[in-house]
Amino acid sequence: MIRCLPALAALALLPGCAAATVFNVATAPVRAASSAVSTTGDVYDKLTVSDSERDAKRSRQVRQREKRLGKLDRQYRRAQDKCRKGDDAACQEAGRLRSQIEELTPQVPYEPVG
């Protein structure tokens, strides 16, 4: 404690900015250690996903696929109508849309009605 007295006296005589710098240098290891612990906790939280988070993500993905499937179906029906009226480009578009629908359909789960 007696050795610390001259250091404290010298610290009191330093101008404010120099004293703050000395204080920051002295406390840097403590601040670094506390941020490392916090960072480790954040990484752990990001690496562990709860069942409810996983279910919510899957539900969101299913809804997005259902939405995309609905949009493709509407486009396909419009193209089919134009194709029936003799539009050859619409017939090709309907074929392309049909193949996309067939590709996406297995990814959307089937839910029985009733």
Pick from 48-57, 77-86, 98-107: least confident: 48-57
pTM beyond 0.85, yes or no: no
Nearest to 75 by CA among 86, 67, 108, 111: 67
Domain ranges of the chain: 65-107
Query: Per residue in 12-33, pLDDT tens?
Result: 555 656 556 665 666 666 666 5
pLDDT tens-digit map of 26-61: 666 666 655 555 566 666 666 677 888 888 888 898
Element (H, E) at 2: none
What's the pLDDT score for residue 4? 56
How far apart are alpha carbons 95 and 100 in whole angstroms? 9
Share of the chain above pLDDT 70, in %: 54
Q: What's the pLDDT score for residue 112? A: 63
Q: How far apart are CA 82 and CA 91, in angstroms?
A: 8
The better pLDDT of the pair 91, 53 is held by 91
